[in-house]
Structure 1
Amino acid sequence: MCGIWALFGYDTTDVTQFTCALTMAHRGPDCFRFENVSEMRNAKLAFHRLEVVGNVGGMQVMTSSTHDQLPHLTLICNGEIYNCRKLKEEFAFEFESTSDCEVILHLYDKFGAEETSKLLDGVFAYVIVDTREYRVIISRDTFGIRPMFYYVTKDGQMGVCSEVKGESEFIHTSPGCGEDKTGLIQAFPPAHYMVCDSKVGSHYLIGQLLKCCYVTGDNNDVIKKNIRTLMTNAVEKRLMSYRRVGSLLSGGLDSSLVAAITAQKLRERGVEQPIQTFSIGVESSPDVIAARKVAEHIKSEHHEVTFSPQEGIRALEETIFALESYDVTTVRASIPMYLISRYISENTDTIVIMSGEGADELAQGYIYFHKQPSPQEGDIESKRLLTDLYLFDVLRTDRSTAAHGLEVRAPFLDHAFVSYFLSLPASKRMPQVSNGVEKHLLRSSFDGTNLIPTEILWRRKEAFSDGVTSKKRSWFEILQEHIDSMISDEELDKARENYPFHTPRTKEALFYRRTFESKFGSKLSKLIPYQWLPRWTGSDDPSARVLAHYQNDEE
């Protein structure tokens, strides 16, 4: 996890630029560099480094001369390129550093902007400055696991940043950058790259296709074996780190599988230290109880973090600032993740954190998928959720962990695993009517392996923001009770007048929106285009605990 920041076309003597670049220091607490690229439109680049791969030679801002004697390519990248070694050997690249990100410069020099992104297997958000062609190239990975925001003004000025804080602060404080320009900041879309050619004033935004991985075999046994193999490979490639690797462990299917495979692979590599696993909840939390069983099974060094409702409420505003979001379900789920990330940073030596993010979207794990009208509709919804992950769950895991100098990795969003899983018939991926359980295909693929306890393998889905509290008093109810006294009925009645875009419909949503705008202004509210809600249920609340299917199952 690192932080990138760039400005083009501004006065390089403006000292506010340095101050604004520092707003993301939490993303890279190990090193910081701030440089001019004088040959390129007064370009200024900054990089905050969290050391995970490579020694001191992996520090950025990174330059490369490639075929010329004088360097003409400059790179800043927040990412990990898992197929770096393979690409280096295949194309006989000669590296000048120990950084996996250096391969991006070599690929661009050899193949150009579009092919570079398509050849990469990893997570990334990068900026390349090409002073020979007078171009700036930016690109982001398929699911937006690494964040990136940008803007381009009518005058040709441009900014790129890992978090919107860096750009919004500059726009607000820099002379000549008025409030009206704040609305220009937007999330750079995942699976895209852009070429800004100053010679001709062109901008190209072209989608990157998901890498396909169709493994032969169509009977159930072969499919399940392929799923196990691809998932194991996805975890193994994400162990690329010289820092200690741990895993979040909620006690649900997704995090339990990831933690178990990670523990297994670390033992196979001869790592003597047991994997550290982390769970969080209030007293009587079903997640904490389930996670404890998994930790005992995989023999991890387990850490249980207990927080009180009051502690969660006290962290609410700082969590919203870290998130840069006011989406209700995102905020609810981020508070416990923010608190556990703080604990990991302050009390352990684990830096890289494995997570089960992406499984619910890919494998139709949300309870509301039981209501899908048809397998085809379920397939459409699953792909929509994956496309929008960068607005919600991926955003949550990135900001909650990065706020405390940690790096999160999500094996379920591996290119090969996702493309194979989506290539399977939609009817195989939907919840099975016979036993009423979601993610049946994923669960059955690991049945009989003894990787995790059977009761956890078949445990009913529990949303993270619900499972951290008891079933008698859910986390969303605790938050709503607190916020009810802070927002009057009159304020809610005036919400449409005061917030015409994406109008809050509940006091909870209004409180989050008001808090967000107090920190980032009203124009940046458009960064969140809609509130995450379940489909096909008619529910106005994102919690699974309000759905009839969940309630019936608990009776």
Structure 2
Amino acid sequence: MIDKIAHRGPDAVQVAKLEGAPVIMAHSRLSIIGPDDGAQPIAQGSDMLIANGEIYNHADLRAILGEGAFKTASDSETILHLFRSGALRWIDRLDGMFAFVLATGDRIIAARDPLGIKPIYMARMGEGLAFASELKAFDGLGLTAIEAIPPGTLYDNRDGWRRWYRIPHGAAKAEPDVDGTARELRLVLEEAVAKWMVADVEVGSFLSGGLDSSIIAALAQKVLERSGKGPLKTFAVGTDGSPDLVAAKRVAEHIGSKHHEYVFTAGDVVENLPHIIYHLESADVDLVRSAIPTFFAARLARQHVKAVLTGEGADELFAGYTYHHAYVDDPRALADELTRSLGTMHNINLQRVDRITMAESLEGRTPFLDRKLIDFAQSIPAALKLCRTRPDAVASTGPTTEKWILRKACADLLPESLVWRKKAQFDEGSGTVAALQEALQTLTGERGEIGRAREGALYEEILRGCFVDPDLILANAGQWEADRVAA
């Protein structure tokens, strides 16, 4: 099992048995915090832990729990000591992205972060249980009843399932203090980016030239400047002359980052598509399309850094998708839809980011999904997220602007033309759609446009060729959901 997910952590692989209990744990490590002594599994007494992700408030937790209890510099060890503290809601004190399995002599606990940024699956193994970060770890083992542990949920073999986090519901009506809201949002954003840059290794940033990644990169550059470090390393990919490459270069020049770019071709797509689908663990057309530029960006970034910031989550928090425009005159429905879509991210965009970055042994970090930022963003009225160009304009006039309050909060960070640049899907702005059509024609030997049905069938065919038990993978694969709230 651990060999199949060794790409997630090439720095160290360790397998251990919990003394006196039928528990074996294995961990492949990508060392980000405490690189010298943070090997896992972490064992203390009759307890053992393996964890994936980052605990960003680990320094504060160490101070509270007592530094003397810790044996390593690893942020993951705080999970073990919080559990051992006996606090009723100990898991709620963890601030970060994580998935973990913790074992005692007679107990197994497995849990996942609030939004499901980090993955974890559970399967039946005879009368026992098996856990893994990716579905491929179970392939060919004949395991049954495989399921993803839901975001914000904890499984305890003694006490059963417990949902420990719920996404706060979005607000709808506008409030008078628009300027104050924008200023506070900016402060919360700055705090989130600084927190999610905590590491003992260099952290870079994806930069597509779109609003979300540009804001994150601009704020990250400021964090490094304040600490006397930098410049920030930024990474952009696209086909030759694609809008994303042009825009990303302009942003990089504006913020002063050390910029890297990679121009990919249809031939590159043909060569790497099986690798992408195998690691993505899905044949969903939209997921595969967006995974292609993510893969090239991850491969580029891993040549320079071990962790990158990404802009995922901004569209779900601030109404950034084209389909959101249908809600402009119904802020209550928009708030409901944003709340719903946040709850589905683990199966789509977050699965793509995790699988594709980790396939290249790169850690992807998503500051927009910081818990405090989620709480604040959900308290901002939906009428300020998607509105006519002026928030006080009457409903029947003016163009619709998505992520309006986010743009206002960060208007001084970037050139005006970029702050108000219309959103393009990652696979469109990067030129992936055109390159993919050419690649699909090469792979199928067919001429003319390859339709979605044929495209999806090809992806499934490729996926089936990658696994011993492809039905297991397909049954649990992430895919886009269409159960949107009616506007």
TM-score norm. by structure 1 comes to 0.80
**Equivalent runs, 1:392-403 vs 2, <5 Å:** 392-403=348-359
Q: Which residue of 2 aligns with 1:73?
A: 47
* 1:407 paired to 2:369: no
Q: Which residue of 2 aligns with 1:423?
A: 379
Q: Deviations over 1:242-298 (max 9, x none)?
A: 211111000000000001111110111111x41111100111200000000000011
Q: What is the alpha-carbon distance in structure 2 between the residues aligned to residue 218 and residue 406 of structure 1? A: 43
Q: Deviations over 1:126-151 (max 9, x none)?
A: 111111xx100001001111111111
Q: Which residue of 2 aligns with 1:53?
A: 33
Code of the residue aligned with 1:186 in structure 2: it is: E
TM-score norm. by structure 2 comes to 0.90
Deviation at 1:106, TM superposition (A): 1.2
Q: What is the alpha-carbon distance in structure 1 between the residues aligned to residue 66 and residue 176 of structure 2? A: 37
Q: Which residue of 2 aligns with 1:285?
A: 242
Structure 2: gaps of 5 or more residues: 390-397
Q: What is the alpha-carbon distance in structure 2 between the residues aligned to residue 283 and residue 74 of structure 1? A: 50
User: Does structure 2 conserve the Cα–Cα contact (< 8 Å) formed by 1:137 and 1:196?
Assistant: yes
Q: Which residue of 2 aligns with 1:378?
A: 334
Deviation at 1:426, TM superposition (A): 2.2
Q: What is the alpha-carbon distance in structure 1 between the residues aligned to residue 32 and residue 446 of structure 2? A: 43
User: Does structure 2 conserve the Cα–Cα contact (< 8 Å) formed by 1:277 and 1:301?
Assistant: yes
Q: Which residue of 1 aligns with 2:474?
A: 525
Q: Deviations over 1:208-258 (max 9, x none)?
A: 2358999xx961111001110000000001111121111100000000000
* 1:359 paired to 2:339: no
Q: Relative contact order, CA 8 A, sep 6+: which one is greater?
A: 2
Q: Which residue of 2 aligns with 1:495?
A: none
User: Which of these residues, 403, 410, 428, is aligned with residue 446 of structure 1?
Assistant: 410
Which deviates further from its counterpart, 414-423 or 218-227? 218-227
Deviation at 1:483, TM superposition (A): 5.9
User: Does structure 2 conserve the Cα–Cα contact (< 8 Å) formed by 1:259 and 1:277?
Assistant: yes
Structure 1: gaps of 5 or more residues: 1-19, 65-70, 172-177, 493-503, 538-555
Q: Which residue of 1 aligns with 2:203?
A: 245
Q: Deviations over 1:409-440 (max 9, x none)?
A: 11000100111111122222224363322111
* 1:203 paired to 2:175: no
Deviation at 1:206, TM superposition (A): 2.6
Q: What is the alpha-carbon distance in structure 2 between the residues aligned to residue 279 and residue 532 of structure 1? A: 28
Q: What is the alpha-carbon distance in structure 2 between the residues aligned to residue 379 and residue 290 of structure 1? A: 30
Q: What is the alpha-carbon distance in structure 2 between the residues aligned to residue 297 and residue 352 of structure 1? A: 23
Cα RMSD of the aligned pairs, angstroms, is 2.7
* 1:507 paired to 2:454: yes
* 1:62 paired to 2:19: no
Query: 1:263 aligns to what SS in structure 2?
Result: helix
Q: Which residue of 1 aligns with 2:393?
A: none
User: Does structure 2 conserve the Cα–Cα contact (< 8 Å) formed by 1:368 and 1:536?
Assistant: no
User: Does structure 2 conserve the Cα–Cα contact (< 8 Å) formed by 1:47 and 1:60?
Assistant: yes
Q: Deviations over 1:129-185 (max 9, x none)?
A: 111xx10000100111111111135x431111111111224x1xxxxxx4xx45x22
Deviation at 1:477, TM superposition (A): 4.1
* 1:231 paired to 2:189: yes
Query: 1:261 aligns to what SS in structure 2?
Result: helix
User: Does structure 2 conserve the Cα–Cα contact (< 8 Å) formed by 1:281 and 1:469?
Assistant: yes
Q: What is the alpha-carbon distance in structure 2 between the residues aligned to residue 220 and residue 480 of structure 1? A: 48
Code of the residue aligned with 1:366 in structure 2: it is: Y
Q: What is the alpha-carbon distance in structure 2 between the residues aligned to residue 211 and residue 107 of structure 1? A: 24
* 1:97 paired to 2:72: yes
Q: Which residue of 1 aligns with 2:18?
A: 37
